Amino acid sequence: MTPEEVRAVHFGKPAIGRRGYSEDEVNAFLDRVIAHLEGRTPMAPSEVEEIAFGKPAIGRRGYSEDEVDAFLDRVIAHLGASAPTNTADSPLTAQHIRTVRFPSTPFGRRGYDATEVDAFLLKVEQALNNAHPLTAQEVRDTKFGASPRLGPGYRESEVDAFLDAIAAELTRRRR
């Protein structure tokens, strides 16, 4: 992600009857992201995860919540979400897979379906124990459905970062 990419971001309007997020607040946040990418200010994934935008004035429509939320997930992923990472000094093990915990999405935001993610991680654990074949490409190609409308889900950026670490480990093991 570059400052130019952030400057080029455009969000659509929410559906008729929905107010969306305040354009002024979202634009101020984009300025903060640009400042971070230019090295002028620090920014942590937790800041982005906890951000809440207000609504525009009644009768006005701001930015589409879904589009802004998807962008927030990209920013979190870029900032290096707190999911475990794979390094040559600490390869992922079945124990890592068994004990990983992903944060839930905030109320009203959807993430990955937790049941689907957990079922896939069971397959990964089996693969790391040589009980089930799985390749790095299969991990990269994995897609999860969205969490229930108002139910909790896993934060997509956290799961995606962990999947990258799994794929790297399987590549290291030549699978």
Cα separation, 5 vs 3, whole angstroms: 5
Q: How far is CA 38 from CA 34, 44, 78, 98, 171, in A?
A: 6, 15, 14, 38, 33
CB 149 within 8 A of CB 110: yes
Per-residue pLDDT tens, the chain, 175 aa: give them: 888 888 999 999 988 888 889 999 999 989 988 888 887 878 777 778 778 888 888 888 899 988 998 888 888 888 764 344 444 456 778 888 888 887 777 766 778 888 899 999 999 998 888 877 889 999 999 999 888 766 678 888 888 888 888 888 888 887 5
Structure tokens at 44: 């942590």
Q: How far is CA 102 from CA 16, 49, 84, 112, in A?
A: 34, 13, 10, 10
